[in-house]
Amino acid sequence: MSTENNIPYNKEINNFIIKLGLSLYLTLPQLKHVCEFIFAAVGRGYDGKVIHIAESCYQSTYRTSIGQFLSKSPWNEDYILRALQKFAVNKIWQLSRDTGKPIYVIIDDTICKKTKPSSRAKNPIEKCQFHQSHLENKKVYGHQVVGALLQCGDVTIPYQLTLYDKTKVDKDNKKFTKINIAVNIISSLPEPPIQGFVLGDSWYSAEIIIKTAKAKGFEYIGALKTNRIIYQNARA
């Protein structure tokens, strides 16, 4: 394997993963794979494919080994998410206290478009569905992800990425929507120490999101669809 384009080993990233406490839960081979993915994602020329990680990694790694880690390795995604969320909140909230600047919670979604499989395909991509693309103004096939970023000043940290599954239902057997995901994200946050704002586009400018943000100490800033009616608050 040529080392000319290899992903370099980054000690700072490795130490950050250890700082999160993941080494207390993941095995050493699992930690190695996590590091490989991160090194690849921030490296030049990464195209999102597993084969790129296997071919360019700082250690010799087979694609099948990485695939086995993704599909069968017994690791708890929720545990890792909570560790990352704790780090993001601590960092952004402390920055707000130190600078007196407000916190922004930025919520949006995006679609990772895939090629529609043949009706005879035996193994279509898991949880791929048709979603409305505002960019292409039509329904496209792929994964839709709802994401949240935390920002204070010029520092922005990812807080949560949730795959939207149209087939998922809540405990009352009602459809679990992107609005539900946004409400859960906002509800998981502590109150801002100085001032906080939730930012969203017209899709997320829903009454339940505005009220949830208010209950957590955040104001809501978002676009409105042209068919919405605004009533003045008589008590204002």
Evaluated on CA atoms 112, 113, 119, 122, the torsion sign reads negative
pLDDT per residue as tens, the chain (236 positions): 334 444 455 677 778 877 888 777 788 878 877 777 777 777 666 666 667 676 666 555 566 777 777 777 777 778 888 888 999 999 999 999 999 999 999 999 998 888 777 666 666 777 888 888 887 888 988 889 999 999 999 999 999 999 998 888 877 777 889 999 999 999 999 999 999 999 999 889 999 999 999 999 999 999 888 877 777 665 54
Can you read off the two tokens belonging to residue 31? 């930690």
Can you read off the two tokens belonging to residue 197? 């704002």
Q: How far apart are CA 182 and CA 75, in angstroms?
A: 25
- CB contact set of 10 (below 8 Å; sequence gap of 6+): 39
Q: Can you spell out the DSSP letters for the chain?
A: --STTPPPP-HHHHHHHHHTTGGGTS-HHHHHHHHHHHHHHTSTT--S-HHHHHHH-SS---HHHHHHHHHH----HHHHHHHHHHHHHHHHHHHHHHH-PPEEEEEEEEEEE-PPPPTT-SSPPTT-EEEEETTTTEEEEEEEEEEEEEEETTEEEEEEEEEE-TT-B-TTS-B--HHHHHHHHHHTSPPPSS-EEEEE-GGG--HHHHHHHHHTT-EEEE---TT------TT-
Can you read off the two tokens belonging to residue 198? 């939730």
Question: What does the pLDDT read at residue 152?
Answer: 97
Which pTM does this prediction carry? 0.79
Question: What does the pLDDT read at residue 56?
Answer: 61
